[in-house]
Amino acid sequence: MPYYQKYRPEKFSQVIGQDQITLILSNQIRRHKVANSYLFAGPSGTGKTTCARILANAVAGSQWDIVEIDAARFRGIDDIKDLAYKANFGPLAGGMKVYVIDEAHMLSEPAFNAMLKLLEDSPPYLLIILCTTALGMIPETVRSRCQLFEFQAVGDKAALGKLQTIAAKERMGISNDALRFIAAMASGNLRTAEGMLEQVASLDHGSPRTKEVKRFLQQKMNIGG
């Protein structure tokens, strides 16, 4: 299993680099003040979909009440109309019914119009979470009907801490300097950092030297120096 899946946070306290967002969402859940629609926007690998899943699991009655859609593949008006039709059926096990729509900016214009209608007329038991890496492509009419949370690139220090945790659990003999290099190369994308660590784990039986790591990753990224 890829590291980004194996070590994906299962609760907000495990999410790194988005403290303000996770605090607000945790408080909303605790106080039973969860909204009916959210828009999570920000760069790739910053935890948008992870937070959407954590939120969904916290309020849904069961996994059957959570529907995830990749708008890069299911982006047409018929796809959204199908969701709207299924929204008429309440959750199977109490709690809320949740739609998580990833890459929401990929929806077609007719699909956005159908989504707007769903947002405006959604039943009280329905929670819609839109995730996007391109906030500017989300129509203002849709944005205005969601609670907007803007995710920031994960800082190198926070990314380093996550890489150290993974390296320790995987029993990798890798230096902190090498991990710092990986964190810096990932440029705030934690999923990329985890992928890099997984690639270098095979070097020298999982105990790569710092120079090896730098040379290997520089070649992979096709950069000099």
* 55-97 pLDDT tens trace: 999 999 899 999 999 999 988 999 999 999 999 999 998 899 9
Taking only the tens place, the pLDDT of each residue in 171-219 is: 888 889 989 999 998 999 999 999 999 988 877 555 667 777 877 777 7
Q: What is residue 135's DSSP assignment?
A: G
Per the model's pLDDT, the better-predicted residue between 120 and 175 turns out to be 120
CA dihedral 215, 219, 221, 224 (to 10 degrees): 80
Q: Which domains does the chain have, with CATH numbers?
A: 18-150 (3.40.50.300), 156-221 (1.10.8)
pLDDT at 172: 86
Q: What are phi and psi of 67, to 5 degrees?
A: -120, 125
Token duo for residue 152: 């920031």
- What's the confidence (pLDDT) of residue 141? 97
Structural tokens at position 9: 């946070």
Question: Which residues neighbour 222 within 8 Å (Cβ) at sequence distance 6 or greater?
Answer: none
Over the chain, what is the mean pLDDT? 92
Rg (Cα) of the chain, in Å, rounded?
20
Structure tokens at 50: 């992870």
pLDDT tens, position by position, 8-27:
999 999 999 999 999 999 99
Kindly report the pTM of this predicted structure.
Answer: 0.91
148: left (phi over 0), alpha (psi -120 to 50) or beta: beta
Helix (H) or strand (E) holding 41: strand 37-41
Q: Six-digit token pair at 84?
A: 């709207």
At 221 the pLDDT is: 66
Contact 216, 178 (CB under 8 A): no
Cα–Cα distance measured from residue 57 to residue 40, given in angstroms and rounded to the nearest whole number:
16
Most distant CA pair in the chain: distance in Å? 58
